[in-house]
Chain A
């Protein structure tokens, strides 16, 4: 191997003292295997002797090589030797000067405490951040109510164009997916119900089961979850990227209230559209159920409708639909709040979007459970 593709090291106890010979190309690509041996260099008798680092065999040097030379000379000096270089050229000196500019004692690795402390730390940090999140969200809820009240008092403040735009995006555009999902789930529900009820000879009640579970629970729950995933995340990403590019700040300085411009249209759009979507979802679910029942139990659609009117009264449907505006409010609020919390980087948009979807789906289900208790308590 030639002197330009290898880096070698020789040590020798010579007459002049302890001799370290650096040979070849001491460059960052070649010095890997020198690191260990250099650290282990130990002259026999140390105190008061001379050490010479011989550079005459060097064909190339870069900062990494210079660093190793410097580190070695320091090491020998600490061991009590008088260190000098032999064959030092101007170029080598410049590089050695660079290396000498660095003092030891840099802390490069982030301190990592033991695992149990990290665990406690993370649990604590999570609890605190959840508490902060809840407090922030409640604050935002209050602000939103205030702004909504202001909008009701002065309807001229309402931005109609964005409102309609968001109604289309969050409502109309969600129709196909909502219809498809609820239609399929309606069918599946009827099919599973029929199979189980047949065992008791009670298959006639399949219609009751489908109608009640769908109208009261499944229709609104499915729709709300789809909307939370679709529109809640979109709200966060839209507002978040505007926040990131300082558009929100620009808005404020121009005397426009971001609550009026960005939040109210989205919240209202969702509050208006989610009940409508739920209505469509209920119909599609029942259609899916009816088709499945027709196919499995030979109950014709006409009979299905008669059964339906016996099984479900207005409140079966009303209970489902009543939940929609409140869930819409929560989804839109969480989406917008998360968007407003975006700071600086694009990464933050991603983090907040994930958080917004998880939180709003969680809240939808919590709300649904609370509603179930409430409606049972008041007897409808």
Chain B
């Protein structure tokens, strides 16, 4: 595998629930080291796409290749190893509610690496600092945190094993604009320093402007358009036009450039 090969390659993906076809013949490439934003209306299957890539959802047809390996053809052991090379931030953090924030971050260390206790503590504290949580958050339980802090804690857990790929499902949904902007900056900074590839599902136009290198639009059951923000603005597709040049889009664009 060379560096130019896409880190994630989806070909001919089809997902079907009963008679409802969510994806049909969907192709997608994610390049190494980029932040790819996935947009699409509610219910167009953004989360399902994410779940099919990470193997939480078995596609009806098609292949998903991550880091040069095909997900559906892998043995259990190999899958486990590959899973350690990505981190996922679910929509509400999906922290384990019975564990403190620090213990949540340490779960992967405990399960996969068996690190010495002191080192585990240090690394967890490092990750918690990295995502910008205050030190007293370490011993708190998820129910004692605000939504934004839960997302940061979820991010710290996703980053615990220094993954190559980071999957984020609507990371700024439910955050106030200031919190959302801070989260955007955080993602961008972490992506730059750690050299991450980020697969970012979002609804948030500000996030798209602030963090994404490229954008993929889900519409008509497949990726209708994949390209930069400029490509989006030039598109004639009615939904893309509406989305990227509607009134809210203009405001977001103004704040991103102004």
Contact = CB atoms under 8 A, between A and B. Distances in A.
A316 interface: no
Q: How many A residues are at the interface, by size bracket?
A: 20 to 34
Interface residues of B, number: 34
B138 A28 contact: no
A102 B194 CA distance: 16
Contacts of A98: 126, 130, 193-194
Contact of B123 (A67, A95, A103, A109): A67
B84 A29 contact: yes
A94 interface: yes
A67 B122 contact: yes
Given A108-B139, A347-B97, A29 B125 contact: no
Contacts of B135: 105-107
B114 interface: yes
B139 A345 contact: no
Interface string A229-259: 0000000000000000000000000000000
B119 A109 contact: no
Contacts of A94: 192-193
A36 interface: yes
A108 B121 contact: yes
B143 interface: yes
B113 interface: yes
A101 interface: yes
A210 to B, nearest CB: 49
B114 A32 contact: yes
Contacts of B100: 110
A102 B126 contact: yes
A6 interface: no
A62 B125 CA distance: 15
A63 B118 CA distance: 16
B116 interface: yes
A87 to B, nearest CB: 19
Interface in B97-126: 97, 100, 102, 109, 112-116, 118-119, 121-126
B121 A28 contact: no
Contacts of B193: 94-95, 97-98
Nearest to B120: A108
A109 B115 contact: no
B162 interface: yes
Contacts of B162: 27-28, 62-64
B116 A36 contact: yes
Contacts of B123: 28, 63-64, 67
Given A94-B193, A344-B143, A108 B125 contact: yes
Contacts of A107: 135, 138-139
Interface in A50-91: 62-64, 67, 71, 91
Nearest to B108: A28
Interface of A: 27-29, 32, 35-36, 62-64, 67, 71, 91, 94-95, 97-99, 101-103, 105-110, 344-345, 347
10 contacts: A28-B160, A28-B162, A35-B115, A63-B130, A102-B122, A102-B126, A102-B129, A106-B125, A108-B139, A344-B143
- The 4 A-B pairs at the shortest CB distance, nearest first, are namely A62-B162, A106-B125, A108-B102, A102-B129
Given A28-B113, A67-B122, A106-B121, 13 more contacts: A27-B162, A28-B160, A29-B161, A32-B119, A67-B123, A95-B193, A95-B194, A102-B125, A102-B130, A106-B135, A106-B138, A108-B124, A108-B138
